[in-house]
Amino acid sequence: MQTEQTKSIQVKGLQKSYKQLQVLKGVDFEVEKGSIFALLGSNGAGKTTVVKILATLLKSDAGTAIIHGFDVASKPDHVRQAISLTGQFAAVDEILTGRENLIMIAKLRYLENPRQIADDMLQRFGLTEAADRRVSSYSGGMRRRLDIALSLIGNPQILFLDEPTTGLDPEARIEVWKVVKKLADSGTTVLLTTQYLEEAEQLADNIAILHEGTIIASGTLPELKKLFPSAKAEYVEKQPTLEEIFLAIVGKKEGK
């Protein structure tokens, strides 16, 4: 039986409306410490709204969210100390070099030895050779790796990645996947929002499907596969892909 201490994130009954549009209609999920949790959904499903609430950038209308033991609504400062957020577009300064970007963030966070921190991050994310080049010359995958490195300065326990591979080519996307896997292996909890089904399939320990403001299915990939009709025996038994599971579950919901 799981104890409360193993949970990094606990979300219950989260609701949010913009004027007449109800974006979140009661969202519930939990994320285990040191795991990768994928919030999967189409554009407009409410994924970014969930992340903004958890990152203390937006207030919910109802429900609770507990991050690292702290209530998001009543203890936002404590929550901010435990988290970091990487949005859909790389938040790097293109005029500065990779090294200068990292040193700047370390100084803004009042950390000791900002140059050493920068060197460590450059090595960790495979950017040492490009360290003294302007970021404007970086490829998309390099910028995204630098962006994640910037997010990790100060060692946050929880990292929110909001559609981190949007706009990246397949090779750069795989680069980012490797980085995310290493983060979870080192004990960082990762909440990942994505509309790329393969991304959730490759990375996530647990997946929740957000559709029209509610979680309509959640679990591990094998658990979600059990929700799919039995595999047909043709020449070989074919296991359903996450894409087939997603479309079947969403289709069932829309057909009601």
Question: Structure pTM?
Answer: 0.83
Distance separating alpha carbons of residues 182 and 94, to the nearest angstrom:
26
**What residue segments make up the domains of the chain, in order of their start?**
4-254
Q: What is the pLDDT of residue 49?
A: 94
Where is 238: in which H helix or E strand?
none
Q: What is the pLDDT of residue 3?
A: 47
Nearest residue to 211 via CA among 38, 27, 37? 27
Q: Among all chains, which residue has been given the structure tokens 């609770």? A: 64
Going across the sheet that includes 189-194, the strands are: 83-86, 158-162, 189-194, 36-40, 206-211, 214-219
Side chain identity at residue 83, one-letter code: I
Distance separating alpha carbons of residues 5 and 58, to the nearest angstrom:
26
| CATH architecture designation of domain 4-254 | 3-Layer(aba) Sandwich (3.40)
pLDDT digit string (tens) for the chain, length 256 residues = 344 568 999 999 999 999 889 999 999 999 999 999 999 988 888 999 999 999 999 999 999 999 999 999 999 999 999 999 887 666 788 899 999 999 999 998 889 999 999 999 999 888 999 999 999 999 988 988 899 899 889 889 999 999 888 888 888 888 889 889 998 999 999 999 998 888 999 999 999 999 999 999 999 988 988 876 655 555 556 678 888 888 888 876 665 5
Q: What is the pLDDT of residue 109?
A: 86
Where is 148: in which H helix or E strand?
helix 140-151
